[in-house]
A and B are shown apart, each in its own frame.
Chain A
């Protein structure tokens, strides 16, 4: 079993059952998981900011407007079917109660990712977003399981695992 770290501004996709895609300690960032539960193909993007403002270089996956379409392309390239894609969102917290700008970043990240998913007609089927706590997301490729963990807490399922072909 291989754990792939998806760090700030990175994304990854896999069709290999047993792979685990992980983003550790998401604060205002969003961990966006895309899954095709029929084929067991999944991807994870670690989105840092809502919008590139149009002049960012190609490959700036830290921006939601770059990361969302790219992640869709990557899972589709691996064999996921676009109409079957479903999304899970984790993160978008406001870590610092007093700091207005970080609150905005977390909320704006979630709003931007949701809008981009709507444009792609992808439903959000589970989420743990907002609030003030940091979170780790793990995506188990194959069993289609997504878990979330908070500081000092235990890993809990956000999307219960199921074998390919069975509705979770």
Chain B
């Protein structure tokens, strides 16, 4: 199993922090509300443990996933609980669960995810492009496992950079996961010089 030092995890956490900072600015512009970010977590976990660390596998969630193509392939996954999805849709004046609701969440995912990916690319000097978003509302485990499975080819370890965006006054949050392909983590660390 690949191991990372504390310094390396700190560096990855810092990357996630700056990326989600940029993403929160984008979300704030879209919603017209101030958006705070939590201190990000960096988990390096055996794949089997990854889902459990995120939440109850059978709880309902809406996931919006964007692929990353370019120098460091990977995925960005945004997760909304049903309550958060409803609040978020309410802020945009659409009904959660309706066709408009899903496309509103996809658009949030698109804007937030793309700005995260762009910020990440700039920081590490890599050419990273987001692919168009896809969404699903289902069991949390099924959503997370499907995203991990796509990126699981090389190793048994998943790196999850996890931050929460909290929309002020509305107490709703989006969690954010960056799942790079296995080789991508080493590449990122190399660019960061740690």
- Please report A residues at the B interface, Cβ cutoff 8 Å: 7-10, 24-29, 48-49, 60, 62, 93, 95-99, 101-102, 105-106, 132-136, 149-152
Contact of B141 among A48, A105, A106, A134 (CB under 8 A): A134
* Cβ contacts under 8 Å, A97 to chain B: 134-136
Interface-facing stretch out of B29-37, B121-129, B146-154, B177-185: B146-154
CB distance from B103 to the nearest CB of A (A): 12
The number of inter-chain residue pairs (CB within 8 angstroms) is: 124
- Please report B residues at the A interface, Cβ cutoff 8 Å: 47-52, 57-58, 60, 63, 65, 67, 132-150, 152-153, 156
Q: Are B134 and A134 in contact (CB under 8 A)?
A: no
* Cβ contacts under 8 Å, B137 to chain A: 151
Contact of B57 among A9, A24, A28, A102 (CB under 8 A): A24
- Check A7/B149 contact, CB under 8 A, given A25-B141, A95-B142: no
Q: Specify the main secondary structure of chain A where it touches its partner.
A: loop
Q: Are B136 and A9 in contact (CB under 8 A)?
A: no
CA distance A115 to B79 in the complex (A): 35
- Check A7/B142 contact, CB under 8 A, given A25-B58, A102-B150: no
CA distance A149 to B58 in the complex (A): 10
Contact of A29 among B136, B138, B149 (CB under 8 A): B149
* Cβ contacts under 8 Å, A96 to chain B: 63, 65, 134-136, 146
- Check A25/B142 contact, CB under 8 A, given A8-B51, A9-B47, A62-B152: yes
CB distance from B52 to the nearest CB of A (A): 7
Q: Are A27 and B143 in contact (CB under 8 A)?
A: yes
Q: Are A28 and B65 in contact (CB under 8 A)?
A: no
Q: Are B140 and A99 in contact (CB under 8 A)?
A: no
CB distance from B109 to the nearest CB of A (A): 11
